[in-house]
Every structure is written in C-alpha cells, then in structure tokens.
A and B are shown apart, each in its own frame.
Chain A
Amino acid sequence: MKKHVAIAMAGLLAVAGLSSCGSDDGGSLVIWHDKTDAVVEVLRKAIEEKLPGEKVEFVKRDSMTDQLKLVGNDPSSCPDMYIFAHDKIGLFATIGILEQLDGLVDPSSYEESVPLALDAMEYQGVNYGVPLYYETTLFLYNRDLVGDKDPSLPSLPKTSEELYSYMKEYTDGRRYGFVEQHSTPYYASAWINGWGGKILHDDGTPGLNDQAVVDSIEYHRKFVDYMPRTSADYATVNTLFLEESADMVIGGPWMIPSALEAGIDIGVAPMPTLPNGKPLSPYSGVQGIQALKIKCRDPERRARIKAVMECFVDPEVQGELALVSGCAPALLDAYEVDGVRDNAIVKAIEEQAATAIPMPSRPEMDIMWSELGYLLTDVNMNGAGVRETADKYQEEALRLIAQMQ
C-alpha cells in the first residue's frame, strides 16, 4: 500500500515538474490577467485579426500580485505579459521584474491617450505599460427619488453642504439620503484628495497627519452621522441602493449593471464640490498591459511581445474593451468609435477623469491603505479624535515604511 502511495507521489512530482517547464517551449506567449471572459475574448479576437498565426495563451490568475512576486524572475514559470490594475507597477518595478516600455513599444502609438491613464503607467519617470482602459468611482443617484425627472422631487445637491442638508432632511431609519463606503480608504480618499490632502507624498513619506488630511476627515465625519455607521462595506451600500433605500451613493461603475437589472432608473452626476470649491476627487484604477523583463531578453521573443502589446493600441479594440468591462478607454480616438461615444457609463467616467487622480503605485501605498483604513474606522466607527488618531497611525506608517527599506 505504502509502495503504491510512494509511486503515486513520485508520479505526481514528476508531472508537476514537467508541467512547470511547459511554458518555456518558445511556443505560445503567455498573458496573465484577472479579467472576465468577455474582456479576454476581445483581446483574443484582436490578436487573431492583426497577428494571424501568433499563439497567445491567456491565463487567469486570482492572486496576481503574490504570483508575480513569486515567479516574476523565473523564466520557466513567469508570463510574458500581464494585464492588471496599475497600482502595483511601483511594487513590481521596485523588485525589478518589469521591462521599460521605452525602446519596446513606439510611444507615438499610444501617447494620444487620456493623460490620467498615461500618468498611471509611469513610475519614477519610467514608463512601464500600455494603458487599455480605466475606471473611477461615480456619484450615482436614483432618478425616481432625487433630481429633475419630476418637479416634485428634491433637486440634486451640487455642493457637499447641499448634500449634507439633504441627508439631514431625508435620512430616517429606513431611508438614507446618501451612502458610501465611508471607512474604506479607496472611497474616503475622494474627500481627502478633493481637500488637497495627500496620504502618501511623491517622495514616499506618509501624510496621514497633514493638516489637509486631518481637516478633510474631520469634515467628512459629519456625513457619517447620517450613514450606516458600523456597516459600510460594499454589500451594505449596494443593497441599500438596490432596495431604493439610498437616494445617492458613490460607487464604482460595476454597481451599474445590477442596478439596471433591479429596475432602478439610475443617474450619474458630477461629484459634489467641497467648501474649497473643488469637487471630490476619486482615485482611478487604470488597466494596462506590462511586459516581464526576463522574457524580453531574447530579441525574437521581444519582437513578438512588442507586436502583441501594439495590437491592443487600437481605438476599436479599446472601445470594445471599455464597453464589455463597463469602463472608459484609454486612447482618445476610441471615444469616437460607434457605441462608445453615446455610452452613458463611458461618458460619466470620462467626465470624472478630469478630477480623478491615478492611485499612487509606490510600494509604500500598501501600508497607507491599511493604516488609513484603521484611521477611518477608529474615527468614523468608534468616535476617536481625528488629530491624535492620525498622529498615531502616521507614526505607525513611518515605522512600517522604515522597516520596509
């Protein structure tokens, strides 16, 4: 019995060993991604049309960051390229597994893109990827409850103070004027950025206790009083909106399909402006394609990688990508494609792009997300004082960043 087990084990080991070598046969190019089948289909079709005969294998990875950290330097198991949100570019560039884009892909092909998308692909002055499409959070509202659809409805707040009065007036036990994931850093950052605060400065120093950050969190706190205080996760916000218990929400474009399905007459409005006259300025995530350094050494393979990356720099392809993913395309020309120009989601995101800023991609950002999260939950959910809590987590962030070096 034991013998059989041993033989089976040995067999398994052998198979595992062989299969891990499989990808280095010089045959297919491998692209890792974390996207839906519809997105991959568009990409595959683009390659089939423009590069007939080129073999590209799309592999879906759930924990892309960990996987790339693990094998990013190992030619036998790393992919040639990957498609992922831009905010890990700094991390991968720091550990040194990314190929620079300059010298690989001709800049003139993609430089006519939305500036935000181009900025996102850059880390410390070096360009690392071709932007494909991007998303921002949006100010969504239920047109049956608020807005100009019916004169009897209250009008849509344009400033945060108007929003606050609206919340005060209409929020009761069953209905909320406005709901957002108030203690989730990604969402709360819109308020901080709009206020002029920076949770991570460009040189990598944290700014949690900067005056602007502290002020914005202090200001934001009064809104939390009229939102579900302790449950502010995606499920809660989404459900409240779908059940018509929330008139307005800040959420991602990914909330729109389910809202339409639930029969909600959904509207997208510009973000309200803060007392300083600037609108809330959400972070944006840009999806792009990056190449792995170790795979670009061989000139022949490098040329194939270049060709594949370039074939996604196409208005038609990016337009279609935006439509199937509910985002907005990076290339400016893609906005002229039929079906893209008049798409409401694309339009809303495009308008938002003027005030949105790409998420910082420095590796320190991972620490900032978690420390800002603690700061927000302590303040919003447990009533801690903003200044001393901000000081506490600033110190913790400094300590962790020092430990990182």
Chain B
Amino acid sequence: MKKKEGFRRFEREARPWLFASLSLLTILLVVVFPIGHTVYLSFTNMGIYNYYDYSLIGFGNYLDAFSLGSASFLRSLGITILWTALNMALQLVIAYVLAVLLNSPHLRLRKLYKALLMIPWAMPGYVSILLWKNGMFNGQFGYLSKIFSLLGVDVDFLSNDIMAFLSCTVVNLWLALPFMIMIIDGALQSVNRELFESAELDGCNAIKKHLFVAIPSIVPIVSPAVLITLFTTFKQFDIVNLMTISPVGTGAHIETVIVYAYQQAFITGNYGYSGAVATLIFLLVVLSTVFFDPSFRKKGAKHGSR
C-alpha cells in the first residue's frame, strides 16, 4: 500500500518533468550547449592554424580582449553602449510623442497615420537598410546627398565615424519606432481617463499630466517591450554591418561588439578570441537583464517569506 502511494507521488511529481523533458532537451541542445561550447572555446587557442588540435590556454583570450589595440574590444564596447543609450533615449521620446499625438482627441485619419507608421515594420530589415544606404546616403545618387548638394553642402554620410554613427541611428529609428509606437499607443489607451480629469482638477498643466499621470501609468505595460528593444539595439548587427562594412567598407570605424566578434571569428578565423568576446557579451547581457528586468528585482518582495 505504502509502496503504491510512493509510486503515485513519484508519478505526480515526475509527470510535469516528463512532459517537459523533450522541450527541455531541445532547449539544452539548441541553447545551452552552444553557449557552453562557446565558453569552452574561449579558453582555447582554436584558430585557423589550430583548427582541430587546439588546446586550453587559460585566460589568454580574455586578457587580449582587455588590452588596447587600434580596433580593440573595449572601443567597440564603448561604441555599443553609446549606440544603445542614444537609440533607446531617442526611440522612447519620439515614440511617446508620436503616440500621444496619435491619441489626440480630435485627430482625423488616425487609422491612416497608424498604418503609415507601421510600414517600416512590414518591410524586411535587410531591404530597408540597403534602401537607406543606396537610396538615401549614396554620395552619387542618394536622395539626401542630392538635397544637401543642391543646398551647396557636401555631406559624407557614411565615410566618417560621427556621420556614419548618426546615419545608422536614423536607420535604426526608422526600423524600430513602429514597434515602440504601437506599444506606447496601446498602453496610453489603457490609461484611465478619470485620472487625467482629477489631475486637471488638482491644477496639473499638460506637461505635468504627462510626467505624473500618463508616464507612470504606462511604465509597467511598456517595460517588457523596452527591455526587448534594449537587447535588440545592443546586439544590432545588420545595420552597422550593411551600412559601413559589407560588402565594401565605407571608411567609418563604428564596429559594435557584435560586429567585432563576428569579424574576429569569420575574418581573422580567431575562434578562441571570438569566443571570449562572445562570452563577455553574454555575461553583459545576463547582468543587464538582472539589473533592468523588474521581475528579477521584485522577486524578493513577492516571496518575502523565503
């Protein structure tokens, strides 16, 4: 009797694991194993000359990553942080303003505007980027270049670092704003109108209404989306690569960490070093998840008894 009960209990507890086991196995194979293998490679000297017979070399690759060279890891890390901060700030401000405008009470053709704002999202990113590069920024045929040269100014959009960085930022905003506008627009619609009315009664002006009523109410709704965007921006590869490096360099050196890691692995064939860079990026992302994601921080409060 007791034996049977024990078995039942085992069955009850093992059942969910059994059901989940195949999914877990898949995750293990496609997510955990590659990460583990990358970490392992980062401690080896795997490269073109030691392709199959590489050996463990300790922290050498990590030391290399933190040494200063002309195109070093640290420089690309700095660029990435600047890139992420600038893009996130611009995105949030612009998306918020546009979403508020979309929600103004007497706006006509609201649906048309919304549809137009979604177009960049509907286009494949790769195509958008190349269209911007060749259609807007090309020094010979680009629309923007033409406009500027008509005004008598010659602008090199992609060949010096600062302009290339700003050009890439513009393209990233073009690609990323639709998502942010949609999220903030949805969040704004869920804010209780009565809050605004009572704020008005309490003597709030328009700016204060946004700062103290609208924004605090939408923060919990938009924060997961902001977090997702933060990581997408951080690991944005296509824009910088297609705009300034591939297929031919345009003269700007604005490699972000992901582009840097890619170049190390696939151009210089330095897998050990590239693995170290990838591991550092991974740690950085994990740390920032813990730092930014409210669900990690609130855990303690939720399960206060533990």
Contacts and interface: CB of A to CB of B under 8 A. Distances in A.
Q: What interface size band does chain A fall in?
A: 35 or more
A6 interface: yes
Contacts of B64: 403
A381 B20 contact: no
Interface stretch (B32-40, B94-102, B108-116, B154-162): B154-162
Contacts of B19: 2-3, 6
B269 A363 contact: yes
Interface string A381-401: 110000000001001100110
A379 to B, nearest CB: 9
A200 B129 CA distance: 34
A374 interface: yes
A390 B19 CA distance: 61
Given A181-B248, A231-B138, A399-B69, 16 more contacts: A6-B20, A94-B48, A94-B49, A228-B139, A230-B156, A230-B157, A230-B250, A231-B139, A231-B142, A240-B140, A370-B267, A378-B251, A381-B159, A382-B160, A395-B70, A404-B268
Nearest to B48: A363
Given A6-B19, A236-B140, A382-B159, A366 B269 contact: yes
A393 B76 CA distance: 17
A96 interface: yes
Which secondary structure characterizes the binding site on chain B? loop
B247 interface: yes
B206 to A, nearest CB: 44
Interface of B: 19-23, 26, 29, 47-49, 51-52, 64, 69-71, 134, 138-142, 156-160, 247-251, 253, 263, 266-270, 273
B160 A370 contact: no
A230 B251 contact: yes
A18 interface: no
B141 A404 contact: no
A396 B71 contact: yes
Interface of A: 2-3, 5-7, 9-10, 13, 66, 69, 73, 91, 94-96, 181, 183-184, 228-236, 239-240, 363, 366-367, 369-370, 373-374, 376-378, 380-382, 392, 395-396, 399-400, 403-405
B138 A404 contact: no
22 contacts: A2-B20, A6-B20, A94-B49, A96-B52, A183-B248, A228-B140, A230-B251, A232-B248, A233-B247, A236-B139, A236-B140, A239-B141, A240-B140, A363-B48, A378-B251, A392-B70, A399-B69, A403-B47, A403-B273, A404-B268, A404-B269, A404-B270
B69 A405 contact: no
Nearest to B71: A396
Contacts of A366: 267-269
Contacts of A399: 69
A303 to B, nearest CB: 27
Contacts of A6: 19-23
- Chain A's interface: helix, strand, loop or mixed, by majority? helix
B140 A405 contact: no
Given A2-B19, A377-B251, A91 B159 contact: no
Nearest to B61: A403
Contacts of B47: 403-405
B141 A236 contact: yes
Contacts of A382: 159-160, 251
A232 B157 CA distance: 13
A96 to B, nearest CB: 7
B249 A377 contact: yes
Contacts of B268: 366-367, 370, 400, 403-404
Contacts of A73: 52
A358 B211 CA distance: 66
B270 A183 contact: no
A85 to B, nearest CB: 15
A7 B51 CA distance: 37
B263 A370 contact: yes
Contact of A95 (B21, B48, B159, B247): B48
Nearest to A378: B251
B140 to A, nearest CB: 5
Contacts of A403: 47, 64, 268, 270, 273
Contacts of A369: 267
B15 to A, nearest CB: 11
B22 A373 contact: no
A179 to B, nearest CB: 10
B139 A229 contact: yes
B52 A2 contact: no
Nearest to A245: B140
A32 B286 CA distance: 39
A224 B2 CA distance: 89
A44 B159 CA distance: 46
Contacts of A235: 134, 138
